[in-house]
Amino acid sequence: MLDIKLIRENPDLVKENLKRRQDNEKLKWVDELLKYDKKRREAIAKVNELRKQRNELTEKIAELKKKGEAVDSIIKKVKNIPEEIKKLEEELAKYEEKVQYYLLRLPNLLHESVPYGKDDSENVVVRIVGKQPKFNFQPKNHLEILQDLGLIDIERAAKVAGNGFYYLKEELVLLDHALQMFAIDRLRKKGYKLIQPPYMLRKQAYMGVTDLDAFHDVLYKIEDEDLYMIATAEHPIGSMFMDEVFTKKELPLKLIGISPCFRKEVGSHGKYTKGLFRVHQFHKIEQFIFCLPEQSWQLHEELQKNSEELYQELGLHYRVVNVCTGDIGAIAAKKYDTEVWMADNQFREVGSNSNCTDYQARRLNIKYKEKEGQAPLDFVHTLNNTAIATSRTIIAIIEQYQQKDGSVEIPKALRPFMNGIEILRKK
């Protein structure tokens, strides 16, 4: 959410930002928002005036009663004021709803370093790391390999839960867990604090951390409950400190979340959906930071470095892209995607790293103050970055480490976390 004062004072800045995002249909929203904001403030003035009148008369009633004098005539005079107030308040509520509608939908201001572009084809490659694996045979995709090894069953998963689910088996389960333990181990050594959050959230908490499209396209809702299955640990961790005030010395607060992630993936038709790439559930280790505004850009690079170190230690070939203005999404001010190389010679996303500046924090009402007992100064900044998303990283490992005989080598970094297993082999 943007600061209404900023929009009032710099409407052109907000409009320029929308143009860069190619969100041209939202341009008129800025004027609409300001129109309703003005009406809102006028209504507030009127309501205040009426309340003042009522309060004065009410006080007179109390005063006269104390003296034991008659109050009937004043009560008659004041009696219809509450109704007028109510009418005006209803009008005011309408304006407030409008203002809120636009505020919740206007996207974050982009950082100047975000490249201009219309969609993911115009994301800018920042760097390519590692070497493309060379095979002296025709490489297979992960699904074929895993099925040959007998480590996955997606047919039965489809039978009981539908497309997009899977049964992992034996060593593949260990690999999934090893990836998580590996990421946790490395990040804890950097001082990040581990959190296992609730796997469901109320709507109110969810509103603060994501955009409204998510409620339909991404989130599973529990029937008859005000609860949504989380799509990432980012969400329960972001909302964890809702309506709270940090002291400066508590910041930056660097956290690692571990959780399963549940996603509906509505509207993913036509996208790459093979095997484990686009699934309804997977595990993820997530980095999350609450910090002072002046710290966030440096920490954004730190988060990027952290996750790249993991991919490097796993020996994976990957690239990093600076996500362009047309592809970045409403909440981030800047976003890097990390994309791993897959056997069909495509790079595909395994993680993304967002600096949300104060956009999430304003919605969640998370502020900071100089020290205990003082008034809050301003909103904090929030950042989140994938450390490891298991399913997609599994794809990269299986496809990049496959051998001619159909076996798959386990990266050395993972072996201590999976009972020393060095290779996945058909039995």
Q: How far is the CB of 195 from RNA (least distance, A)?
A: 17
Nearest approach, Cβ of 98 to RNA (angstroms)?
A: 15
**How far apart are CB 34 and RNA at their closest, in Å?**
12
Which of the stretches 26-34, 234-242, 271-279, 369-377 binds RNA when contact is defined by CB under 7 A?
A: 369-377
70 in contact with RNA (CB under 7 A): no
Give yes or no for residue 273 binding RNA (CB under 7 A): no
Both tokens of 283, joined, read 């595990």
Contact of 322 with 366, CB cutoff 8 Å: no
Q: Report cis status (omega within 30 of 0) of the bond before 411.
A: no
Rule CB under 7 A: which of 11-50 touch RNA? 41, 44-45, 47-49
Tokens of 22: 């190619």
Q: How far apart are CA 364 and CA 204, in angstroms?
A: 9
Strand extents, DSSP E, 377-420: 378-379, 381-389, 408-409
Among residues 19, 24, 55, 132, which is the contact residue for RNA, using CB under 7 A? 55
Shortest Å, Cβ 371 to RNA: 6
Q: Looking at beta carbons only, is 9 or 301 nearer to RNA?
A: 9
Q: Which is nearer to RNA, 47 or 240 (CB)?
A: 47
* Separation of alpha carbons 114 and 21, rounded Å: 10
Q: Between residues 366 and 388, which has the closer beta carbon with respect to RNA?
A: 366
The stretch among 73-81, 169-177, 228-236, 407-415 that binds RNA (CB under 7 A) is: 73-81
Shortest approach of RNA to residue 357 CB, angstroms? 19
Q: Is 81 in the site for RNA (CB under 7 A)?
A: yes
Give CA–CA dist 208/150, Å, rounded.
Answer: 43
Q: Which of 68, 191, 270, 373 binds RNA (CB under 7 A)?
A: 373
Contact residue for RNA among 57, 124, 128, 413 (CB under 7 A):
57
Sole window of 61-69, 261-269, 378-386, 387-395 interacting with RNA (rule: CB under 7 A): 61-69
Candidate list 9, 19, 82, 312; residue touching RNA; CB under 7 A: 82
Q: Which position among 371, 405, 419, 420 is part of the footprint of RNA (CB under 7 A)? A: 371
Asked if 375 is part of the footprint of RNA (rule: CB under 7 A), the reply reads yes
Q: Is 160 in the site for RNA (CB under 7 A)?
A: no
Q: Identify which of residues 68 and 191 has a Cβ nearer to RNA in the complex.
A: 68
Instruction: Specify whether the CB–CB gap between 157 and 169 falls below 8 A.
Output: no
Q: Tell the smallest beta-carbon distance from residue 229 to RNA (Å).
A: 17
Instruction: Please enumerate, as own/partner, the contacts of 85-93 that have beta carbons within 8 Å and a separation of 24 or more.
Output: 85/47, 85/50, 85/51, 85/54, 88/43, 88/46, 88/47, 88/50, 89/47, 91/43, 92/40, 92/43, 92/44, 92/47
51 is an interface residue for RNA by CB under 7 A: yes
Min dist CB 74 to RNA, Å, is 8
Cβ of residue 245: shortest distance to RNA, in angstroms? 7
Residue type, 357: T
- Window of 72-80, 310-318, 345-353, 400-408 that interacts with RNA by CB under 7 A: 72-80
The packing angle between helices 296-313 and 170-189, to 10°, is 140
Q: Where does this chain touch RNA (CB under 7 A) — which range of 10-18, 74-82, 211-219, 417-425?
A: 74-82
Does 374 sit near RNA (CB under 7 A)?
yes
Query: In whole angstroms, how close is the CB of 392 to RNA at the nearest point?
Result: 30
Alpha-carbon gap, residue 76 to 74, rounded angstroms: 5
Closest by CA position to 120, among listed 385, 390, 335:
335
- Find residue 125's DSSP bridge partners: 321
Using CB under 7 A as the binding criterion, the count of chain residues that bind RNA stands at 28
Report the residue number, 65 or 425, with the smaller CB distance to RNA.
65
Going from the C-alpha of 371 to that of each of 117, 208, 377, the distances in angstroms are 43, 25, 10
The count of other CB atoms within 10 Å of the CB of residue 129 is: 15
Separation of CA 333 from chain center? 12
Query: Does residue 79 interact with RNA by CB under 7 A?
Result: yes
Start-to-end CA distance of the chain, whole Å, equals 55
Tokens 């996208």, residue? 271
Strands 228-229 and 152-153: unpaired
Helix extents (H) in 327-381 = 359-364
Q: Which is nearer to RNA, 51 or 98 (CB)?
A: 51
Binding-site ranges for RNA (CB under 7 A)? 41, 44-45, 47-49, 51-52, 54-59, 61-62, 65, 75, 78-79, 81-82, 245, 371-375
